């Protein structure tokens, strides 16, 4: 049992993390201050205001390695870092961070999720496109990391199911292709039979869709090397690729930038994304820790989802803000559980 359960702590993360047992946290999820981006009212205390990018990364890595140490072997570490224009060009700091992290061999990168901002900050610069994405890097310590794909963006599955009434024309093109193909009579009969079965599975909602590949019409997979599907195409004349009930879950998530007029923190990340990642990477009762807690978005998401939380911030004002937010649960959006 961790002594900081369900608490928001004032302090330097490096020091606080040193007091937490190794392999005791299920998920670290955080957004550190970006390099020279903002003054959080702790200019000489926290990280972000270093004179050089290298020094910034060095300080960030001290905390990152402690984050890794306290994470369980089944746990994950998610860092969201934004990029910055320096001398007119993008610095790619988030990616330098991710490369160094994987080169350390302490973790591997499970996913690089792109947050696509629906309302990015407009800029006057006519010689650049508007920056509207930020990465969320998911790192793991071992291959045993928890990952509940079925819980991630579940509300969208339901939406898709409701909207996805199959068309009456489903499979018609494939019947025509089979009829005009080079397949033998028996192969054609077999292909039509299997195609009918796949269509029925879609109507019965057992699968959400399928693709068919027919010999002489479609290309073999991966340049044609021998393998399960290619063998089916060569030997039977066709293959059917079933698409499961879940729509493809991609490494991109859309969400507006948080606009929470009552929240005085200047860099709040979206509760929605954090909730989805907590659902993906933990179970009820697990412990979620944010070493750069700010206004406490991570703690709030964890609390809403019945996980334990630990938040750490160097700035006492933000710690109070987070505690208040947790107590009153205001400014918050609808929960999609």
Q: Which two tokens stand for residue 24?
A: 């005791």
Q: CB under 8 Å to 25, separation ≥6 — which residues?
A: 2, 70, 71, 72, 75, 287, 288, 289, 310
318 is a contact residue toward ligand SAM (CB under 6 A): yes
Task: Tell me how long the chain is.
Answer: 337
E strand intervals along 118-228: 133-140, 209-214
Closer Cβ to ligand SAM, 164 or 316, answer by number? 316
- Please tell me whether residue 114 adopts helix, strand or coil conformation: strand
Pair of tokens at residue 278: 């907590």
State the minimum distance, in angstroms, from the CB of residue 107 to ligand SAM.
20
Residue closer to ligand SAM by CB (options 190, 315) is 315
Interactions with ligand SAM, residue window 283-312 (CB under 6 A)? 292, 294-295, 297, 312
Residue 12 within binding range of ligand SAM, rule CB under 6 A: yes
267 binds ligand SAM (CB under 6 A): yes
Binding mask 212-251 for ligand SAM (x = CB under 6 A): ----------------------------------------
Q: Shortest distance, CB of residue 59 to ligand SAM, whole angstroms?
A: 8
Q: Which residue is nearest to ligand SAM (CB)?
A: 46
Q: Which listed range, 39-47, 99-107, 230-238, 328-336, lies at the site for ligand SAM (CB under 6 A)?
A: 39-47
- CA-nearest of 83, 130, 82, 135 to 109 is 135
Locate the DSSP E strands across the chain.
7-10, 25-30, 71-80, 85-86, 89-90, 108-117, 133-140, 209-214, 238-243, 252-255, 287-290, 308-313
Residue numbers of the site for ligand SAM (CB under 6 A)? 12-13, 31-33, 40, 42, 46-47, 265, 267-269, 292, 294-295, 297, 312-315, 318
């Amino acid at each position: 049992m961790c002594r900081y359960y369900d608490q928001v702590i004032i302090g330097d993360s490096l020091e606080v993390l040193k007091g937490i047992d190794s392999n005791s946290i299920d998920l670290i999820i955080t957004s550190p201050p970006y390099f020279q981006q903002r003054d959080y009212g702790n200019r000489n205390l926290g990280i972000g205001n270093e004179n050089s990018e290298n020094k910034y990364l060095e300080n960030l890595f001290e905390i990152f390695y402690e984050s890794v140490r306290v994470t369980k072997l089944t746990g994950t570490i998610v860092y969201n870092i934004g990029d910055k224009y320096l001398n007119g060009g993008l610095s790619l700091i988030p990616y330098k961070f991710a490369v160094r992290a994987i080169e350390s061999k302490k973790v591997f990168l499970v996913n690089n999720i792109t947050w696509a901002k629906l309302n990015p900050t407009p800029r006057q610069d006519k010689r650049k496109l508007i920056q509207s994405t930020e990465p969320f890097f998911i790192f793991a310590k071992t291959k045993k990391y928890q990952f509940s794909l079925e819980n991630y963006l579940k509300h969208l599955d339901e939406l898709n199911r409701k909207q996805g009434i199959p068309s009456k024309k489903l499979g018609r093109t494939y019947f025509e292709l089979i009829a005009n193909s080079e397949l033998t009579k028996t192969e054609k009969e077999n292909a039509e039979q299997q195609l009918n079965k796949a269509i029925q599975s879609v109507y019965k909602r057992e699968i959400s869709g399928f693709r068919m590949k027919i010999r002489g019409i479609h290309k073999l997979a991966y340049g044609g090397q021998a393998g399960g599907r290619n063998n089916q195409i060569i030997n039977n004349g066709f293959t059917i690729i079933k698409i499961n009930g879940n729509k493809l879950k991609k490494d991109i998530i859309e969400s507006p930038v948080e606009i929470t007029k009552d929240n005085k923190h200047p860099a709040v990340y979206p509760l929605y994304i954090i909730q989805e990642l907590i659902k993906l990477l933990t179970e009820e009762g697990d412990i979620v820790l944010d070493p750069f807690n700010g206004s406490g978005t991570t703690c709030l998401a964890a609390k809403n989802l019945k996980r334990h939380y630990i938040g750490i911030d160097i700035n006492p004002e933000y710690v109070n803000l987070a505690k208040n937010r947790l107590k009153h649960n205001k400014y918050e959006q609808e929960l999609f559980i």
